[in-house]
Amino acid sequence: MSLLTRLAFRVEVLKRIIAVVQRIAKNNLALREDCEKLYVENNGIFLQLIEMIAEFDPIMEEHLRRVHFQERDIHYTYLGPKIQNELIQMLTAEVRSLIVAKTKHAKYFTVILDCTPDASHEEQMSLVIRCADDSENAIVVEEFWIGFLKVNETSGLGLFIELKNILSNLELAIDIIRGQGYDNGSNMKGKHKGVQNRLLEINPKAFYTPCGCHSLNLTLCDMIMYKVLRSSHYHNTRWESYVESVKPIKDQTSKIRDALIDLTNTSYDSKIKSEAERLTPFELENFEFLTGMIIWYKLLYEINIVDKFLQSEKMDIDVAIGQLKGLISFLQEFRESRFDQALVEAEHIASEMGIKPIFREKHIIRRKRQFDDINSEKLLRHSLPGEAKRAIDVLNYLKTMDGCYPNFYIAYRVLLTIPVTVASAERSFFQIEVV
């Protein structure tokens, strides 16, 4: 076989190996396991896929035959961990280069950061960049994961220095950042020494938005701990868990009460018996508890829907605001009119349990809250097509107008770069497998 033929053959082999590495990485799977030899057990997904391809592909079949018989002209198998890591690094560099090119084309972008300790208890920071990509016909809001940054100093200054360094390495100008999104940690959101403030000192246009999901969770956790669950041992968790915890109690209150009474009469464990005796009269046979349980299930159900919606990486801040306004409207409406519906449902449960539907203490507080277009804006409103309901729809329409509304085009691009949550950065800690 001539040198040229051998080179062409190796190129074809590498194409297949690169395709395998790409597919494994796309599915967040580990390449290797205990063994790194062909045709043995536990040799990992990478080698197993190579073996499978060889069953149908003559080029890979010939390559594995040469590797297996260790022919003299095979100096490099391209199947070991070193080449796998090199390919991953090359693919990473290429993908990152494409992301940077898209970000530069979009011009304005947002940084989203989140931190967590790794397996060795060293702090690592995940960086996500959000921008409105208008390089194609239709504008798309994208959130790109850039990578993990090793953090030696977890103060606001230390985190900010790492952010500046990576942006400098990517050749992304810090002065065109238009948004920053972090969780509610003081080193991130701190108004004096946090990353937020340090970035604002350099770029006052880097609008900070606290994570919507974190803020929603913290607010509702405070409400829960203060009001309904003040005597329970709940831990901060996802709202779906709260909903799933309350639902069986709501649906089977009478049966749970009967089970607790049975425990009171039969248990030999004094602690269990005492807890059962306390829960029965003071909680399950308390009409205020029953009413609160019904109310919180309905509230948590709606909150969980909004919380899940906000975590979408395609979420725009205008849609997020609409969702939160809708949730606020629901809460206001519930307070004004749906409370009576909850009372009826609680009375039904109380009737089944033989409990008088009477509050031991009545605390019903009713409060009411009250919540120049320029000519070009009026003109734009009248010219917008009826299907343009969201900010991304308006931006796509503006793109077709050939620069008629340049300021609005910029404003909507900036609007869509502003992050709603740090969910994308958080997900990166769970989706990236160690290779």
State whether 412 and 423 are in the same domain: no
Q: Which two tokens stand for residue 434?
A: 């160690």
Q: Which two tokens stand for residue 73?
A: 């002209």
Measure the CA–CA gap between 428 and 124, rounded to whole angstroms.
11
Whether residue 91 lies inside any domain: the answer is no
434: enclosing H helix or E strand: none
- Note whether 159 and 167 are within 8 A (CB): no
Tell me 174's DSSP state.
Answer: G
Q: Could you identify the residue written with the tokens 């409105």?
A: 132
Beta-bridged to residue 141, according to DSSP, are: 132
Can you give the pLDDT at residue 231?
45
Total of domains in the chain: 4
More confidently predicted of 23 and 388: 23
Whether residue 269 lies inside any domain: the answer is yes
State whether 8 and 48 are in the same domain: yes
Can you give the pLDDT at residue 220?
63
Tell me 153's DSSP state.
Answer: -
Type of residue numbered 183 = D
Measure the CA–CA gap between 258 and 264, rounded to whole angstroms.
10
Whether residue 360 lies inside any domain: the answer is no
**How does residue 232 score in pLDDT terms, banded at 50, 70 and 90?**
very low
State whether 384 and 339 are in the same domain: no
State whether 267 and 327 are in the same domain: yes
Q: Is the pLDDT of residue 58 over 90?
A: yes
| Residue that is last in its domain, among 302, 323, 353 | 353
CA atoms within 13 A on the CB side of 39: 7
Using DSSP, state whether 229 is helix, strand or coil. Answer: coil
- DSSP code per residue over 351-368: HHHT-----SS-------
Q: Return the minimum-mean-pLDDT range out of 227-241, 273-287, 299-313, 336-350.
A: 227-241
Whether residue 362 lies inside any domain: the answer is no
Using DSSP, state whether 139 is helix, strand or coil. Answer: coil
- DSSP code per residue over 79-129: -SHHHHHHHHHHHHHHHHHHHHHHHHHH--EEEEEEEEE-TTS-EEEEEEE
State whether 61 and 133 are in the same domain: no
Q: Tell me the CA distances in angstroms from 54 to 51, 88, 217, 288, 355, one per residue in order.
A: 5, 22, 51, 69, 73
State whether 203 and 220 are in the same domain: no
Q: Return the minimum-mean-pLDDT range out of 79-88, 153-162, 200-209, 332-341.
A: 332-341
Whether residue 112 lies inside any domain: the answer is yes
State whether 183 and 289 are in the same domain: no
Q: Which of 37, 54, 30, 147 is nearest to 97 (CA)?
A: 147
State whether 246 and 313 are in the same domain: yes
326: enclosing H helix or E strand: helix 317-333
Whether residue 85 lies inside any domain: the answer is no
- Note whether 88 and 159 are within 8 A (CB): no
Measure the CA–CA gap between 195 and 161, rounded to whole angstroms.
9
Q: pLDDT digit string (tens) for 305-331?
A: 887 777 777 777 778 888 888 888 888
State whether 71 and 155 are in the same domain: no
Enclosing domain of residue 16: 3-79
| Residue that is last in its domain, among 44, 79, 114 | 79
Q: pLDDT digit string (tens) for 353-383?
A: 887 777 665 444 444 444 346 567 777 877 8
Whether residue 98 lies inside any domain: the answer is no
State whether 397 and 425 are in the same domain: no
Query: The domain that contains 166 carries what CATH number?
Result: 3.30.420
State whether 220 and 348 are in the same domain: yes
Measure the CA–CA gap between 228 and 133, rounded to whole angstroms.
45
**How far is C-alpha 401 from the geometric centre of its chain's CA atoms?**
34
**How far is C-alpha 29 from the geometric centre of its chain's CA atoms?**
20
Using DSSP, state whether 36 is helix, strand or coil. Answer: coil
Query: What rounded mean pLDDT belongs to the chain?
Result: 79
State whether 72 and 24 are in the same domain: yes
Q: Tell me the CA distances in angstroms from 75 to 11, 70, 72, 406, 428, one per residue in order.
A: 15, 9, 7, 59, 38
In this prediction, residues 140-146 reach a mean pLDDT of: 90
